């Protein structure tokens, strides 16, 4: 899929699950969702940048967004989306009917087995998983690899009911039950993780080979980082130019909230950086790994616009005028 820039767009904070490894506390996950724009206003604002976007919709639980399907329909008229979801919401049936699978890069279906068991949610997960798979959406199942998940790996592998969609283990990262992961995995847990990863790569082998690039969130090689995720600070990174993070109200940041704001999508003030630059933050391991890759950091700058497929189209620079040009020359 051709796109100029990717965004990790946190649509909302709200989620119906309370996984104990979630980065957000319960009071944040329980916030009331605020709508800052209509679906058409959001779609028009992204299109007004002159860029084609790959929008990774996340949260919270993005499919719980009140206008979720209308928003996806509006966005995919011109742009591409990807999605993290726990597959619990009734909106997904309408999504499967109305959204063109060719405009969806990938759906990462989070299994969350403990929370699924507490809420008797396996049946609805499998129903939506089958619905989306049968409709032709590119989809895989992931599971955060807690010690309990790794100890019951064979049972966890049998939870998804769609043949071939086995759970891909994701690194447990950060503080969990008083220990810091992934460093806290013991050797038995690391070996169980490696076995799960090998099985997942085998199960999705043809699907992955047919893709032009890895999924937006790509856990298929997480077993390479069981001893710890590498530092990225100081490495040349295309965040800010080829990738940004967007908050629910439309504020845009290079990546982490400690980086300088790059305007707001809804107000038309977003300005991408002209070139890759050294990492000055820490954000999501998957995006850090992707956008420090040579294919995203090797483009040269010419007359304020990236060479090759244009990141900032000339008509966009001209339309926004001298202020943007000064930003691009920094």
For the segment 61-98, what is each residue's pLDDT rounded down to a tens digit?
999 999 999 999 999 999 999 999 999 999 999 999 99
What share of the chain has pLDDT > 70, as a percent? 90
Q: Residue 314: is its pLDDT beyond 80?
A: no
Domain spanning 5-225, CATH class: alpha beta
Give the pLDDT score at 326.
32
pTM: 0.88
With CA atoms as reference, report the closest residue to 217 among 138, 287, 146, 165: 287
Give the pLDDT score at 147.
97
- Report DSSP state, residue 239: B
Q: Residue 317: is its pLDDT beyond 90?
A: no
Give the pLDDT score at 161.
97
Contacts of 87 (CB under 8 A, 6+ apart): 63, 109, 110, 124, 125, 128, 129, 132
Q: Would residue 120 be called left, alpha or beta, if left means φ above 0 and alpha means ψ between -120 and 50 degrees?
A: left
Give the pLDDT score at 327.
32
**Cα–chain center distance at 133:** 19
With CA atoms as reference, report the closest residue to 297 among 317, 263, 313, 273: 273
Binned at pLDDT 50, 70 and 90, residue 141 comes out as very high
Of 201-205, 215-219, 279-283, 293-297, which has the strongest mean pLDDT?
201-205
If you count DSSP H runs as helices and E runs as strands, how many of each does the chain have, helices first?
14, 15
| Residue ranges per structural domain of the chain | 5-225, 236-328
Lowest mean pLDDT among 151-165, 194-208, 255-269: 255-269
Binned at pLDDT 50, 70 and 90, residue 27 comes out as confident
Give the pLDDT score at 298.
80
pLDDT tens sequence across 266-313: 999 999 999 999 998 888 889 999 999 998 888 633 223 332 333 333
Please give the average per-residue pLDDT across 162-186, as a whole number: 96
Binned at pLDDT 50, 70 and 90, residue 4 comes out as very high
Give the pLDDT score at 258.
83
User: From CA 136, how far away is CA 164, in angstroms rounded?
Assistant: 14
Phi, psi of 237 (to 5 degrees): -140, 145
Give the pLDDT score at 329.
34
Give the pLDDT score at 299.
60
Q: Are 253 and 231 in contact (CB under 8 A)?
A: no
Q: Residue 177: is its pLDDT beyond 90?
A: yes
């Amino acid at each position: 899929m051709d796109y100029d820039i990717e965004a990790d767009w946190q649509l909302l904070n709200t989620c119906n699950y309370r996984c104990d490894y979630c980065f957000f506390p319960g009071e944040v996950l329980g916030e009331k969702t605020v709508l800052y724009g209509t679906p058409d206003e959001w779609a028009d604002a992204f299109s007004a940048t002159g860029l084609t976007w790959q929008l990774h919709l996340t949260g919270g639980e993005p499919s719980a967004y009140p206008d979720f399907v209308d928003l996806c329909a509006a966005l995919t008229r011109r742009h591409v989306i990807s999605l993290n979801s726990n597959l619990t919401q009734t909106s997904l049936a309408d999504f499967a009917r109305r959204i063109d699978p060719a405009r969806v890069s990938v759906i990462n279906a989070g299994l969350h087995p403990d929370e699924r068991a507490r809420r008797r949610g396996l049946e609805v997960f499998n129903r939506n998983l089958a619905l989306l798979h049968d409709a032709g959406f590119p989809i895989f199942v992931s599971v955060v690899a807690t010690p309990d998940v790794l100890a019951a790996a064979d049972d966890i592998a049998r939870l998804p009911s769609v043949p071939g969609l086995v759970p891909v283990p994701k690194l447990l990262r950060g503080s969990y039950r008083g220990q810091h992961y992934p460093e806290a995995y013991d050797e038995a847990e690391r070996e169980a993780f490696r076995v799960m990863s090998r099985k997942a790569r085998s199960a999705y082998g043809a699907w992955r080979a047919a893709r032009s690039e890895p999924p937006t969130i790509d856990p298929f090689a997480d077993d390479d980082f069981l001893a710890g995720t590498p530092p990225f600070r100081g490495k040349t990174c295309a965040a800010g130019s080829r990738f940004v993070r967007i908050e629910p109200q439309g504020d845009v940041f290079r990546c982490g909230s400690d980086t300088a704001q790059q305007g707001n999508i809804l107000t038309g003030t977003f300005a991408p950086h002209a070139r890759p630059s050294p990492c000055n933050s820490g954000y999501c391991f998957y995006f850090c790994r992707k956008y420090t890759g040579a294919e995203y950091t090797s483009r040269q700058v010419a007359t304020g616009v990236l060479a090759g497929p244009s990141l900032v189209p000339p008509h966009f620079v001209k339309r926004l005028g001298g202020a943007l040009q000064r930003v691009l020359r920094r």
